[in-house]
Amino acid sequence: MPKPWTYANPVTVVFGEDAVAAIRTALAGRRFCLLTYNDHPYFDEMVRRISREVGTPDVVVRDVEPNPSFNGLRSACQSYGTAEKAPEVIVAFGGGSVIDTAKVLAASGDDFSRVQAFLEGRAGSDTLSATPIIAVPTTSGTGSEVTCWATVWDTEAKKKYSLNRPNLYPEHAILDPKTSLAVPRGLTLSTGLDALSHSLESIWNVNANPVSANHAAFAATEVLDALPKLLEKLDDVELRGRVARASLFAGLAFSNTKTALAHSLSYYLTLHHGTVHGIACSFSLPTVMRSVIGKDTACDAALKRIFGDDLAAGADRLEAFLNGLGVSTVATDYGVTRENWIGAIEDALKGERGLNFIGSREAVLAAAA
Protein backbone atom coordinates (compact mmCIF):
# COMPACT_ATOMS: atom_id res chain seq x y z
CA MET A 1 0.00 0.00 0.00
CA PRO A 2 1.63 3.33 -1.03
CA LYS A 3 1.95 5.98 1.66
CA PRO A 4 -0.68 8.75 1.61
CA TRP A 5 0.32 12.07 0.07
CA THR A 6 -1.09 15.48 -0.80
CA TYR A 7 -0.13 18.17 -3.27
CA ALA A 8 -1.46 21.74 -3.45
CA ASN A 9 -0.47 25.00 -5.12
CA PRO A 10 -2.91 27.93 -5.42
CA VAL A 11 -0.95 30.22 -7.80
CA THR A 12 -2.47 31.13 -11.16
CA VAL A 13 0.36 30.84 -13.70
CA VAL A 14 0.52 32.74 -16.99
CA PHE A 15 3.39 31.65 -19.23
CA GLY A 16 4.62 33.26 -22.44
CA GLU A 17 2.32 36.27 -22.55
CA ASP A 18 3.74 39.79 -22.67
CA ALA A 19 4.46 40.63 -19.04
CA VAL A 20 3.00 44.14 -19.00
CA ALA A 21 -0.26 43.07 -20.65
CA ALA A 22 -0.57 40.18 -18.20
CA ILE A 23 0.07 42.51 -15.25
CA ARG A 24 -2.70 44.83 -16.44
CA THR A 25 -5.15 41.91 -16.66
CA ALA A 26 -4.20 40.51 -13.26
CA LEU A 27 -4.45 43.89 -11.52
CA ALA A 28 -7.98 44.48 -12.76
CA GLY A 29 -7.83 48.16 -11.79
CA ARG A 30 -6.61 47.70 -8.21
CA ARG A 31 -4.22 50.13 -6.51
CA PHE A 32 -0.71 48.72 -6.53
CA CYS A 33 2.84 49.00 -5.31
CA LEU A 34 5.48 48.39 -7.97
CA LEU A 35 8.52 46.68 -6.47
CA THR A 36 11.65 46.22 -8.56
CA TYR A 37 15.41 46.69 -8.70
CA ASN A 38 17.20 50.02 -8.57
CA ASP A 39 19.90 51.58 -10.76
CA HIS A 40 19.55 49.46 -13.89
CA PRO A 41 18.42 50.82 -17.27
CA TYR A 42 16.17 47.83 -18.04
CA PHE A 43 14.24 48.18 -14.79
CA ASP A 44 14.12 51.97 -15.15
CA GLU A 45 12.43 51.45 -18.52
CA MET A 46 10.03 48.81 -17.15
CA VAL A 47 8.93 51.17 -14.36
CA ARG A 48 8.14 53.76 -17.04
CA ARG A 49 6.39 51.25 -19.29
CA ILE A 50 4.28 49.73 -16.53
CA SER A 51 3.31 53.21 -15.31
CA ARG A 52 2.38 54.21 -18.86
CA GLU A 53 0.53 51.07 -19.96
CA VAL A 54 -0.92 49.73 -16.70
CA GLY A 55 -1.38 52.84 -14.57
CA THR A 56 0.54 54.93 -12.09
CA PRO A 57 1.60 52.90 -9.04
CA ASP A 58 0.57 54.22 -5.65
CA VAL A 59 4.19 53.75 -4.65
CA VAL A 60 7.34 52.49 -6.34
CA VAL A 61 9.76 50.63 -4.07
CA ARG A 62 13.26 49.89 -5.35
CA ASP A 63 15.08 49.13 -2.10
CA VAL A 64 15.95 45.52 -2.95
CA GLU A 65 19.12 43.64 -1.98
CA PRO A 66 20.46 40.45 -3.62
CA ASN A 67 20.00 38.61 -0.30
CA PRO A 68 17.26 40.55 1.54
CA SER A 69 18.55 41.43 5.01
CA PHE A 70 16.92 42.84 8.12
CA ASN A 71 18.41 46.28 7.46
CA GLY A 72 17.51 46.36 3.77
CA LEU A 73 13.99 45.12 4.39
CA ARG A 74 13.48 47.73 7.08
CA SER A 75 14.28 50.38 4.46
CA ALA A 76 11.97 48.77 1.88
CA CYS A 77 9.09 48.75 4.36
CA GLN A 78 9.64 52.43 5.09
CA SER A 79 9.50 53.20 1.37
CA TYR A 80 6.33 51.12 1.05
CA GLY A 81 4.74 53.17 3.82
CA THR A 82 5.07 56.43 1.85
CA ALA A 83 1.99 55.55 -0.23
CA GLU A 84 -0.93 57.88 0.54
CA LYS A 85 -3.30 54.90 0.42
CA ALA A 86 -2.30 51.36 1.25
CA PRO A 87 -1.79 49.39 -1.99
CA GLU A 88 -4.27 46.61 -2.68
CA VAL A 89 -1.67 44.53 -4.57
CA ILE A 90 2.11 44.32 -4.79
CA VAL A 91 3.56 43.82 -8.28
CA ALA A 92 6.98 42.21 -7.82
CA PHE A 93 8.95 42.64 -11.06
CA GLY A 94 12.40 41.07 -10.71
CA GLY A 95 14.31 38.05 -9.50
CA GLY A 96 13.87 35.96 -6.40
CA SER A 97 15.13 38.72 -4.12
CA VAL A 98 12.40 41.05 -5.39
CA ILE A 99 9.69 38.42 -4.92
CA ASP A 100 11.00 37.52 -1.46
CA THR A 101 11.01 41.21 -0.55
CA ALA A 102 7.42 41.44 -1.79
CA LYS A 103 6.41 38.68 0.62
CA VAL A 104 7.98 40.57 3.50
CA LEU A 105 6.13 43.77 2.46
CA ALA A 106 2.91 41.78 2.12
CA ALA A 107 3.32 40.43 5.66
CA SER A 108 4.62 43.57 7.37
CA GLY A 109 3.27 46.60 5.51
CA ASP A 110 5.35 49.61 6.49
CA ASP A 111 6.67 48.10 9.74
CA PHE A 112 9.37 45.45 9.34
CA SER A 113 9.51 44.91 13.11
CA ARG A 114 6.32 42.83 12.76
CA VAL A 115 8.07 40.30 10.53
CA GLN A 116 11.28 40.43 12.53
CA ALA A 117 9.41 39.67 15.75
CA PHE A 118 7.63 36.75 14.05
CA LEU A 119 10.87 35.32 12.63
CA GLU A 120 12.60 35.58 15.99
CA GLY A 121 9.71 33.83 17.76
CA ARG A 122 8.58 36.88 19.72
CA ALA A 123 5.17 37.26 18.02
CA GLY A 124 2.57 35.04 16.39
CA SER A 125 1.33 35.00 12.82
CA ASP A 126 -1.80 36.92 13.85
CA THR A 127 0.35 40.07 13.82
CA LEU A 128 1.10 39.71 10.10
CA SER A 129 -0.84 40.95 7.08
CA ALA A 130 -1.13 39.33 3.63
CA THR A 131 -1.39 41.80 0.76
CA PRO A 132 -1.86 39.93 -2.57
CA ILE A 133 1.20 39.61 -4.80
CA ILE A 134 1.57 39.47 -8.57
CA ALA A 135 5.02 37.95 -9.16
CA VAL A 136 6.84 38.55 -12.45
CA PRO A 137 10.21 36.78 -12.27
CA THR A 138 12.99 38.12 -14.48
CA THR A 139 15.45 35.36 -13.59
CA SER A 140 14.97 31.60 -13.84
CA GLY A 141 15.93 29.84 -10.66
CA THR A 142 14.29 30.66 -7.35
CA GLY A 143 10.75 29.49 -8.07
CA SER A 144 9.63 32.06 -5.49
CA GLU A 145 6.68 32.97 -7.74
CA VAL A 146 4.98 29.67 -6.75
CA THR A 147 6.07 29.27 -3.12
CA CYS A 148 4.75 30.75 0.12
CA TRP A 149 8.06 31.53 1.77
CA ALA A 150 10.80 34.11 1.60
CA THR A 151 14.43 33.83 2.63
CA VAL A 152 15.49 36.58 5.02
CA TRP A 153 19.05 37.12 6.24
CA ASP A 154 20.21 38.60 9.54
CA THR A 155 23.70 39.39 8.28
CA GLU A 156 24.84 40.83 11.60
CA ALA A 157 23.96 37.70 13.60
CA LYS A 158 24.92 35.40 10.68
CA LYS A 159 21.47 33.77 10.65
CA LYS A 160 19.12 32.77 7.85
CA TYR A 161 15.36 32.79 8.40
CA SER A 162 12.43 31.59 6.32
CA LEU A 163 9.24 33.64 6.39
CA ASN A 164 6.75 30.88 5.72
CA ARG A 165 3.01 31.55 5.66
CA PRO A 166 0.35 29.84 3.50
CA ASN A 167 -1.22 33.23 2.69
CA LEU A 168 2.01 34.46 1.08
CA TYR A 169 1.67 32.43 -2.10
CA PRO A 170 1.51 34.96 -4.93
CA GLU A 171 -1.92 35.41 -6.41
CA HIS A 172 -0.50 35.32 -9.96
CA ALA A 173 2.83 34.25 -11.44
CA ILE A 174 3.57 35.82 -14.82
CA LEU A 175 6.47 34.31 -16.76
CA ASP A 176 7.55 36.11 -19.91
CA PRO A 177 10.91 34.69 -21.12
CA LYS A 178 11.74 38.01 -22.78
CA THR A 179 12.11 39.65 -19.35
CA SER A 180 15.24 37.56 -18.71
CA LEU A 181 17.10 38.55 -21.89
CA ALA A 182 19.16 41.18 -20.06
CA VAL A 183 20.38 38.72 -17.43
CA PRO A 184 24.17 38.25 -17.76
CA ARG A 185 25.89 34.89 -18.02
CA GLY A 186 26.99 34.62 -14.39
CA LEU A 187 23.50 35.23 -13.03
CA THR A 188 21.94 32.98 -15.68
CA LEU A 189 24.29 30.22 -14.53
CA SER A 190 23.74 30.60 -10.80
CA THR A 191 19.96 30.90 -11.02
CA GLY A 192 19.74 27.96 -13.41
CA LEU A 193 21.73 25.84 -10.97
CA ASP A 194 19.42 26.96 -8.17
CA ALA A 195 16.52 25.52 -10.18
CA LEU A 196 18.43 22.27 -10.67
CA SER A 197 19.05 22.09 -6.94
CA HIS A 198 15.38 22.73 -6.15
CA SER A 199 14.34 19.87 -8.40
CA LEU A 200 16.82 17.32 -7.07
CA GLU A 201 16.36 18.41 -3.46
CA SER A 202 12.61 17.81 -3.76
CA ILE A 203 13.33 14.20 -4.82
CA TRP A 204 15.60 13.05 -1.96
CA ASN A 205 13.10 14.51 0.46
CA VAL A 206 10.88 13.07 3.20
CA ASN A 207 8.02 15.19 1.83
CA ALA A 208 8.30 13.99 -1.78
CA ASN A 209 5.15 12.79 -3.53
CA PRO A 210 4.34 11.58 -7.06
CA VAL A 211 3.29 15.03 -8.30
CA SER A 212 6.35 16.83 -6.94
CA ALA A 213 8.61 14.06 -8.30
CA ASN A 214 7.04 14.37 -11.74
CA HIS A 215 7.59 18.14 -11.78
CA ALA A 216 11.14 17.68 -10.48
CA ALA A 217 12.16 15.07 -13.05
CA PHE A 218 10.97 17.31 -15.89
CA ALA A 219 12.69 20.37 -14.43
CA ALA A 220 16.05 18.71 -13.84
CA THR A 221 16.09 17.08 -17.27
CA GLU A 222 15.38 20.43 -18.93
CA VAL A 223 18.03 22.32 -16.95
CA LEU A 224 20.69 19.70 -17.70
CA ASP A 225 19.96 19.96 -21.42
CA ALA A 226 19.03 23.61 -21.93
CA LEU A 227 21.22 25.56 -19.49
CA PRO A 228 24.59 24.87 -21.17
CA LYS A 229 23.08 25.81 -24.54
CA LEU A 230 21.63 29.01 -23.11
CA LEU A 231 24.97 30.01 -21.60
CA GLU A 232 26.41 29.90 -25.12
CA LYS A 233 23.48 31.84 -26.62
CA LEU A 234 22.09 34.24 -24.04
CA ASP A 235 19.82 36.05 -26.51
CA ASP A 236 17.89 32.90 -27.49
CA VAL A 237 14.29 33.46 -26.34
CA GLU A 238 13.35 29.80 -26.86
CA LEU A 239 16.16 28.63 -24.57
CA ARG A 240 15.27 31.35 -22.06
CA GLY A 241 11.73 29.96 -22.14
CA ARG A 242 12.87 26.39 -21.56
CA VAL A 243 14.96 27.32 -18.54
CA ALA A 244 12.17 29.58 -17.19
CA ARG A 245 9.69 26.73 -17.52
CA ALA A 246 12.12 24.34 -15.82
CA SER A 247 12.54 26.81 -12.96
CA LEU A 248 8.76 27.06 -12.65
CA PHE A 249 8.34 23.29 -12.49
CA ALA A 250 11.15 23.02 -9.94
CA GLY A 251 9.29 25.65 -7.90
CA LEU A 252 6.07 23.67 -8.18
CA ALA A 253 7.99 20.62 -6.93
CA PHE A 254 9.68 22.13 -3.89
CA SER A 255 6.69 24.34 -3.05
CA ASN A 256 5.33 21.15 -1.49
CA THR A 257 8.51 19.54 -0.19
CA LYS A 258 10.86 22.43 0.67
CA THR A 259 14.55 21.84 0.08
CA ALA A 260 16.93 19.43 1.80
CA LEU A 261 20.61 18.91 2.65
CA ALA A 262 22.34 20.73 -0.22
CA HIS A 263 20.44 23.91 0.62
CA SER A 264 21.08 23.48 4.33
CA LEU A 265 24.79 23.29 3.51
CA SER A 266 24.60 26.34 1.27
CA TYR A 267 23.60 28.73 4.04
CA TYR A 268 26.96 28.24 5.78
CA LEU A 269 28.89 29.06 2.62
CA THR A 270 26.77 32.10 1.79
CA LEU A 271 26.88 33.58 5.29
CA HIS A 272 30.53 32.86 6.09
CA HIS A 273 32.24 32.82 2.68
CA GLY A 274 29.96 34.95 0.48
CA THR A 275 29.35 32.18 -2.04
CA VAL A 276 26.54 33.04 -4.46
CA HIS A 277 23.42 31.09 -3.52
CA GLY A 278 22.95 29.18 -6.78
CA ILE A 279 26.54 27.92 -6.65
CA ALA A 280 26.47 27.28 -2.90
CA CYS A 281 23.40 25.06 -3.13
CA SER A 282 24.44 23.14 -6.26
CA PHE A 283 28.14 22.30 -5.98
CA SER A 284 27.44 19.56 -3.39
CA LEU A 285 24.65 17.89 -5.42
CA PRO A 286 26.83 15.04 -6.78
CA THR A 287 28.05 14.21 -3.25
CA VAL A 288 24.53 14.28 -1.85
CA MET A 289 23.22 12.17 -4.75
CA ARG A 290 25.91 9.50 -4.23
CA SER A 291 24.97 9.30 -0.55
CA VAL A 292 21.30 8.64 -1.24
CA ILE A 293 21.44 6.01 -4.01
CA GLY A 294 19.62 2.87 -2.96
CA LYS A 295 18.07 4.43 0.15
CA ASP A 296 14.53 4.81 -1.18
CA THR A 297 12.74 3.13 -4.09
CA ALA A 298 10.70 6.18 -5.10
CA CYS A 299 13.76 8.45 -4.94
CA ASP A 300 15.78 6.05 -7.09
CA ALA A 301 12.94 5.81 -9.61
CA ALA A 302 12.70 9.60 -9.95
CA LEU A 303 16.46 9.98 -10.29
CA LYS A 304 16.55 7.25 -12.96
CA ARG A 305 14.09 9.29 -15.03
CA ILE A 306 16.74 12.01 -15.10
CA PHE A 307 20.04 10.12 -15.13
CA GLY A 308 19.25 6.63 -16.41
CA ASP A 309 19.42 3.29 -14.63
CA ASP A 310 23.06 3.56 -13.50
CA LEU A 311 22.75 6.21 -10.81
CA ALA A 312 26.40 6.06 -9.79
CA ALA A 313 27.35 6.93 -13.35
CA GLY A 314 24.61 9.57 -13.28
CA ALA A 315 26.22 11.23 -10.27
CA ASP A 316 29.51 11.27 -12.15
CA ARG A 317 27.78 12.92 -15.12
CA LEU A 318 26.21 15.48 -12.79
CA GLU A 319 29.66 16.30 -11.44
CA ALA A 320 31.04 16.59 -14.98
CA PHE A 321 28.09 18.83 -15.90
CA LEU A 322 28.93 21.24 -13.07
CA ASN A 323 32.65 21.15 -13.76
CA GLY A 324 31.95 21.82 -17.44
CA LEU A 325 30.15 25.01 -16.44
CA GLY A 326 33.13 26.11 -14.36
CA VAL A 327 31.64 25.09 -11.01
CA SER A 328 33.96 23.20 -8.66
CA THR A 329 32.43 20.37 -6.62
CA VAL A 330 35.23 20.53 -4.01
CA ALA A 331 34.21 22.34 -0.83
CA THR A 332 37.68 23.62 0.00
CA ASP A 333 37.75 25.53 -3.28
CA TYR A 334 35.21 27.91 -1.71
CA GLY A 335 37.49 28.98 1.15
CA VAL A 336 36.30 26.52 3.76
CA THR A 337 38.74 24.20 5.52
CA ARG A 338 38.22 20.45 5.46
CA GLU A 339 37.56 20.43 9.21
CA ASN A 340 35.02 23.23 8.98
CA TRP A 341 33.29 21.55 6.06
CA ILE A 342 32.76 18.34 8.03
CA GLY A 343 31.40 20.45 10.86
CA ALA A 344 29.11 22.25 8.43
CA ILE A 345 27.75 18.90 7.21
CA GLU A 346 27.06 17.81 10.79
CA ASP A 347 25.23 21.09 11.49
CA ALA A 348 23.35 21.05 8.16
CA LEU A 349 21.94 17.58 8.87
CA LYS A 350 20.41 18.96 12.07
CA GLY A 351 18.96 22.07 10.40
CA GLU A 352 15.36 22.50 9.31
CA ARG A 353 16.15 21.71 5.66
CA GLY A 354 18.64 18.99 6.58
CA LEU A 355 15.90 17.14 8.43
CA ASN A 356 14.00 16.88 5.13
CA PHE A 357 16.81 14.73 3.71
CA ILE A 358 16.08 11.00 3.42
CA GLY A 359 19.75 9.92 3.58
CA SER A 360 21.96 9.11 6.55
CA ARG A 361 24.78 10.98 8.24
CA GLU A 362 27.16 8.10 7.68
CA ALA A 363 26.48 7.91 3.94
CA VAL A 364 26.90 11.68 3.49
CA LEU A 365 30.18 11.77 5.36
CA ALA A 366 31.45 8.77 3.41
CA ALA A 367 30.48 10.41 0.10
CA ALA A 368 32.20 13.64 1.17
CA ALA A 369 35.44 11.85 2.08
Model confidence at 2: pLDDT above 90: no
Number of domains in the chain: 2
Output the pLDDT for position 138: 98
The answer to whether the CB of 147 falls within 8 A of the CB of 169 is yes
Output the pLDDT for position 225: 98
**Residue where one domain finishes, among candidates 178, 207, 226:** 178
Model confidence at 301: pLDDT above 80: yes
**Residue where one domain finishes, among candidates 178, 199, 224:** 178
Output the pLDDT for position 93: 98
Residues 81-134: tens digit of each pLDDT: 999 999 999 999 999 999 999 999 999 999 999 999 999 999 999 999 999 999
The percent of residues in the chain predicted with pLDDT above 70, rounded, is 100
**Co-location of 228 and 362 in the same domain:** yes
| 3-class secondary-structure state, position 162 | strand
What b/e sequence results for 305-332 when a residue is b if at least 16 CB atoms lie within 10 Å of its CB, and e otherwise? ebbeeebeebbeebbebbeeeebebebe
Question: What is the arithmetic mean of pLDDT over 261-265?
Answer: 97
Where do the H-state alpha helices sit in 109-233?
A: 112-119, 185-203, 210-232
Q: How confident is the prediction for the chain on average, in pLDDT?
A: 97
| 3-class secondary-structure state, position 260 | coil
**Co-location of 139 and 107 in the same domain:** yes
CATH number reported for the structural domain that contains residue 63 in this entry: 3.40.50.1970
Name every residue whose Cβ is closer than 8 Å to that of residue 173 and which is 6 or more positions away in sequence: 11, 12, 13, 14, 135, 136, 137, 145, 146, 248
Residues 195-224: tens digit of each pLDDT: 999 999 999 999 999 999 999 999 999 999
Output the pLDDT for position 3: 84
The pTM is what? 0.96
**Co-location of 90 and 208 in the same domain:** no
Going from the C-alpha of 265 to that of each of 64, 138, 280, 342, the distances in angstroms are 25, 26, 8, 10
Q: How confident is the model at residue 369 (pLDDT cuts 50, 70, 90)?
A: confident
Q: Phi/psi of residue 220, each to 5°? A: -65, -40
Q: How confident is the model at residue 248 (pLDDT cuts 50, 70, 90)?
A: very high
Residue 344 covered by a domain: yes
Residue 7 covered by a domain: no
Which range of residues forms the domain containing residue 213? 184-368
**Co-location of 273 and 323 in the same domain:** yes
Model confidence at 1: pLDDT above 80: no
